[in-house]
Structure 1
Amino acid sequence: MDLNGKKILVTGADGFIGSHLTEELVRRGYSVRAFVCYNSYNSWGWLDQSPAEIKDALEVVAGDIRDSYRIKKAMENCEVVFHLAALVAIPYSYYSPGAYIDTNIRGSFHILQAARELGTERIIQTSTSEVYGTAQTVPIPETHPLHAQSPYAASKIGADQLALSFYDSFQTPVAVIRPFNTYGPRQSDRAVIPAIITQIASGKRKIRLGSLKPTRDFNYVRDTVRGFLEVAECDAAVGEVVNIGSNYEVSIGETAQIIAEVMGAEMEIETDPQRVRPPKSEVERLWADTAKAVRLFGWKPEYAGKDGLKRGLRETARWFADPEHLKLYKTDRYNL
């Protein structure tokens, strides 16, 4: 599919990945409608930080992904939908699992049902590497068993399977993109990389973290955004699940040391019990097999390996350390 000439909707455009994706779509000259979460402040989330030329080019619609009528209206006249709107914080899913069902599963259903009725040409459903649970084999291919170790992961499995069922049952043109641990500017500091960076940038030398042993496949947001675009453009990805990751495994502890190195800081790590997941809920190992993305559309990470991780962390740390950005975060409080 050629995205040129297509009207594109991005749900969750106000969020971390969604705002980066929305900006890139506009930069490429596409016609973009941004669906943001309604609030009484008329805030567009991270899109408020976008350059004026980006904001001027956007059509912004505020609403709630749980509102079937509102989402269908937002999808009218859009040929392509990037569906990113979701609750994503794993710790908060322990407190409010019902909200994850309503938002992540029912919200996705509203997108899929509207697409079926409107004849939408392409839906890109956003998954997560958390659906795999702790790796049984590495690197993890798309055929790896699914194992929800948190209510969040369970809700994303439900949403993914619903999307694929619409493809099988109604030929709804859905492609499922499964990003591994995306990081970069604008990410919530509930995530481990911003949590480390913001604590160091605010002058702390005793850094409070959860478990240090789990490994992750960290993927810089620019690579993730490029993955979204290439999945959308690839006809062979319809009806498929595609991993997007750096194909590099690193522990949380080593990641913290790399961040301290690129920021030129000395630090001491202490365990914060409230940041530690329940034992059976901790995903101990994630490492993406990206062979399918290479085969289908030639996608490879530009921020690959340890050197790529260092480069991405350096860019991320530079953004967070900017006083205008750092003041947006409550670094003295743990954020679920």
Structure 2
Amino acid sequence: MRMLVTGGAGFIGSAFVRSLLSGTGAGTGDTRITVLDKLTYAGVPENLAEVAGHPRYSFVHGDIRDAGLVREIMPGHDAVVHFAAETHVDRSIDGAAPFVSTNVLGTQVLLDAAREQGLGRFLHVSTDEVYGSIPAGSWTETSPLAPNSPYAASKAGSDLLALSYHRTHGLDVVVTRCSNNYGPHQFPEKVVPLFITRLLEGVKVPLYGDGRHVRDWLHVSDHCRGLELVLRHGRAGEVYHIGGGTELTNEQLTGLLLAATGTGWDRVEHVPDRKGHDLRYSLDCGKAATELGYAPRVGFERGLADTVDWYREHRAWWEPLRRRAAERATASAAGGATAPAAAPAAEGATGPAAKPAT
């Protein structure tokens, strides 16, 4: 199979590429991969360093909104696995335009090129956030979409657009919606790596509101296995949930991260809650389990411990990213603009400028 992977230098995309090319994925021995990535702040070339010289790997630096480039590189591929997206909720609250442009219009460019080329399969990777918030029970794939943040709305729009190309044009589209991912190589603006890196540096961490917001946690390697199953065996036009099966409040997660880093609650600062903050996400993954045999394999306790160890041992990976984030925030403030909400405005920041993403 010849595969075009968009956003392949990001956290989940790079894990997927490394899995396929390392041979740890199922039936991947003949897979050839082209990564298309714009290398924005969260697209880190070092994430793909271990496969950079692989004979079945190639990289294209570019934007999914560039229709000419997409049409140029699409021929010869059998499938698209579409990760590329603006994903950070706080950034979308500060400014929605990049989210709509990349997540909706960029997806449309890819879908048009795939339809024109007669592509075999288009796997669109999405999120549980498109459903909004659920007080009890779990969403199924037929639950109505009710996104509450600009980010989630842009992803819901791209989901519907992708499915419409199946229904209208017969394009072989499958959509996945996952719960909160964690693991190595995650950009340190998301809550798990943000808290780990700040605690390792001796800096306080910010906890939204009362900390009662609930998320389901999915190790990135389990997500990648689920994606492979959907890519190879999912039914065209269908949506599949990929979850981790570990629901925690943000307060509980914070406690586990404090314990894993040998720190105490004096390192936690409560900050005002985020606008439109969804209280709880929960996915019913029975469809993927029944049809595809999906089940998470990485227990949360082991996965979290391994993740903390990875960040402890790879300071050379994340320290430059945090420095660049601080420099961007400083430059934005100097120019009179509001710094991105999730980027640590300074290494010692403890208030809303260092807000987590959950």
Q: What is the TM-score of this pair, normalised by structure 1?
A: 0.89
Contact 1:217–1:246 (CA<8 Å) still a contact in 2? yes
In structure 2, the CA distance between the partners of 1:54 and 1:227, relative to structure 1 (3 Å rule), is farther
Contact 1:13–1:85 (CA<8 Å) still a contact in 2? yes
Give the corresponding residue for 1:277: 274
Give the corresponding residue for 1:288: 283
**2:18 aligned with 1:17:** no
* AA matched with 1:282: H
Secondary structure of the equivalent of 2:146? Answer: coil
In structure 2, the CA distance between the partners of 1:45 and 1:150, relative to structure 1 (3 Å rule), is closer
Q: Deviations over 1:2-38 (max 9, x none)?
A: xxxx111100011110111111121233211111116
**Residue 312 of structure 2, aligned match among 312, 321, 326:** 321
Range 86-95 or range 258-267, more displaced: 258-267
Contact 1:93–1:152 (CA<8 Å) still a contact in 2? yes
Q: Deviations over 1:127-162 (max 9, x none)?
A: 111101111541221122211111111101100000
Q: Deviations over 1:53-107 (max 9, x none)?
A: 5543321111111111111222211001100000001111112212111100011
2-structure distance, mates of 1:200, 1:95:
26
Q: Deviations over 1:189-241 (max 9, x none)?
A: 2211112111111123x3222231100001010001111111101142x2111
Give the corresponding residue for 2:137: 138
Matched-pair identity in %: 32
* AA matched with 1:297: L
Per-residue deviation at 1:178? Answer: 0.5
Give the corresponding residue for 1:300: 295
Secondary structure of the equivalent of 1:92? Answer: helix
Aligned-pair RMSD on alpha carbons?
1.9
Equivalent residues, number: 318
In structure 2, the CA distance between the partners of 1:44 and 1:151, relative to structure 1 (3 Å rule), is closer
Contact 2:9–2:47 (CA<8 Å) still a contact in 1? no
Contact 1:132–1:148 (CA<8 Å) still a contact in 2? yes
1-structure distance, mates of 2:170, 2:164:
9
1-structure distance, mates of 2:354, 2:75:
36
Structure 1 residue ranges without an equivalent (≥5) = 1-5
Secondary structure of the equivalent of 2:44? Answer: helix
In structure 2, the CA distance between the partners of 1:256 and 1:24, relative to structure 1 (3 Å rule), is same
Contact 2:64–2:109 (CA<8 Å) still a contact in 1? yes
Give the corresponding residue for 1:233: 232
Structure 2 residue ranges without an equivalent (≥5) = 24-28, 323-343
Q: Deviations over 1:278-311 (max 9, x none)?
A: 1xx11100122110110110000012xxxx1111
In structure 2, the CA distance between the partners of 1:195 and 1:48, relative to structure 1 (3 Å rule), is closer
1-structure distance, mates of 2:320, 2:2:
33
Q: What is the TM-score of this pair, normalised by structure 2?
A: 0.84
Give the corresponding residue for 1:3: none
**Residue 310 of structure 1, aligned match among 301, 305, 322:** 301
